[in-house]
Chains A and B, each alone.
Chain A
């Protein structure tokens, strides 16, 4: 079974600085997708960024970028120029690629990101 591990229960960063959230995963599949979701307090989960395993290029969305190391099974999220609105729980998630079955996401336990003004 696939597992996703987020080893940082909580991270704190000064506003305008850069922070990196860690995620490792375990799978025997070669075709899969990785995601970072953000869950603000009492608000719904929204997608931050996604990465297809077959793509070597790291995904980037504005201030958010990932460092995808397929061989190491590592998928970290870098947030540049942190803003107060970035404060939330961040979840790393894995999903098997197409090919039948196992369509649900497997999530890590999350990292609580605190932004210090």
Chain B
């Protein structure tokens, strides 16, 4: 399978714990995006990378959130001190540069914070 993959697919955690999600993009794609989708809503953009550089961050990305793409391949999204409001589906997408290229989405990681 050469699509975007995300792990884990589901995560249940207790409030205050840290969680980390991983995204593996389509192999030749140099852009990688993170989105958050809450129930009944469309996805909301969080951040994106071109290769290893993080080029844009949404105001939704609070200080408790950090994303990395150290070697320009896979990316991780960490949430520190989780809150119940962090419960959502976290989606990863990848594309080729430039901007006109289509973003392809992974299956998402569903986070539930108790």
Residues of B within 8 A of A46 (CB): 105
Contact A97 B99 (CB under 8 A): yes
In the complex, the number of residue pairs spanning A and B with C-beta atoms less than 8 Å apart equals 62
B100: contacting residue among A4, A33, A47, A106, CB under 8 A = A33
Contact residues in A for B99 (Cβ distance below 8 Å):
33, 95-98, 103
Chain B interface mostly: loop
Known contacts: A98-B98, A98-B100, A108-B42. The answer to whether A103 contacts B56 by CB under 8 A is: yes
Say yes or no: A44 contacts B106, CB within 8 Å. Answer: yes
How many residues of B are in contact with the other chain, CB < 8 A?
27
B65 beta carbon closer than 8 Å to chain A: no
Most chain A beta-carbon contacts within 10 A, residue among B45, B55, B106 = B45
Binding site for A on B (CB under 8 A): 3-4, 31, 33, 35, 40-46, 48, 55-56, 58, 91, 98-100, 102-108
Residues of A within 8 A of B (CB): 4, 33, 35, 37, 43-47, 50, 52, 91, 93, 95-98, 101-110
* 18 A-B pairs in the complex with CB atoms less than 8 angstroms apart: A33-B100, A44-B3, A44-B105, A44-B107, A45-B105, A47-B102, A50-B102, A52-B100, A93-B42, A98-B99, A101-B56, A103-B48, A103-B99, A104-B46, A104-B48, A106-B45, A107-B42, A110-B42
Q: Sorted from nearest, which 7 A-B pairs have the closest CB atoms? A: A104-B45, A107-B42, A45-B105, A44-B107, A98-B99, A98-B98, A91-B42
